[in-house]
């Protein structure tokens, strides 16, 4: 359970904390205050874990030993454990109705821009296919 920054009670479940964001905050079950997870993006470590398979394959080819596979597995497990602890310790941030409204506005604006870009790409692809 996460601690609500308004009433300081452990009233926010892990699943609700996980899915919270500035545009979709969690409402405390005790006081009704809005808050969201301060750790909305993963760390550089979790992004770097994507390179582990490449490094492991190169290490196996160079050394000829499967020991690198065990080291790679330990690195991945360690990175997952680190991310879990960092998520659990991340505090909740107070959100106001005005801030939520503004965050949702920019979220919709970003989605509209992505939609226009996708339609332009599809139109270009169809045009190139027809020519």
The 10s digit of each residue's pLDDT in 91-105 is 899 999 999 999 999
Confidence of residue 42 (pLDDT cuts 50, 70, 90): low
At 24, is the secondary structure helix, strand, or coil? strand
Per-residue pLDDT, 38 = 81
Whether 1 shows a pLDDT value over 90: the answer reads no
On whether both 79 and 117 belong to a single domain, the answer is no
Range of the domain at 66: 42-90
On whether both 32 and 56 belong to a single domain, the answer is no
On whether both 49 and 85 belong to a single domain, the answer is yes
Per-residue pLDDT, 40 = 62
Q: How far apart are CA 52 and CA 47, in angstroms?
A: 10
On whether both 23 and 33 belong to a single domain, the answer is yes
Helices (H) and strands (E) in the chain, counts: 5, 5
Please say whether the dihedral angle defined by the alpha carbons of residues 69, 70, 74 and 80, taken in this order, is positive or negative.
positive
On whether both 80 and 51 belong to a single domain, the answer is yes
Percent of the chain scoring above 70 in pLDDT = 98
Region 112-116: mean pLDDT is: 98
Tokens for 49, please give them: 């874990």
Number of domains in the chain: 2
User: Any idea of the CA torsion for 120, 121, 123, 125, to the nearest 10 degrees?
Assistant: 160
Lowest-confidence segment of 35-44, 77-86, 97-106 by average pLDDT? 35-44
On whether both 82 and 107 belong to a single domain, the answer is no
Give rounded-to-5 percent helix, strand, coil for the chain. Answer: 65, 15, 25
- DSSP-derived letter for residue 5 is T
On whether both 73 and 108 belong to a single domain, the answer is no
On whether both 29 and 61 belong to a single domain, the answer is no
Region 38-58: mean pLDDT is: 80
């Amino acid at each position: 359970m996460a601690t609500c920054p308004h009433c300081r009670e452990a009233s926010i479940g892990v699943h609700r904390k996980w899915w919270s964001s500035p545009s979709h905050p969690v409402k405390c079950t005790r006081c009704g205050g809005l808050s969201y997870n301060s750790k909305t993006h993963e760390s550089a470590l979790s992004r770097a874990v994507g390179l582990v398979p490449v490094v492991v394959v190169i290490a196996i080819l160079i050394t000829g030993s499967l020991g690198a596979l065990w080291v790679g597995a330990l690195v991945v497990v360690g990175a997952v454990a680190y991310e879990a602890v960092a998520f659990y310790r991340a505090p909740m941030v107070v959100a106001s109705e005005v801030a939520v409204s503004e965050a949702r506005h920019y979220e919709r604006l970003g989605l509209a821009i992505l939609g226009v870009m996708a339609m332009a790409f599809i139109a270009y692809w169809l045009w190139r296919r027809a020519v």
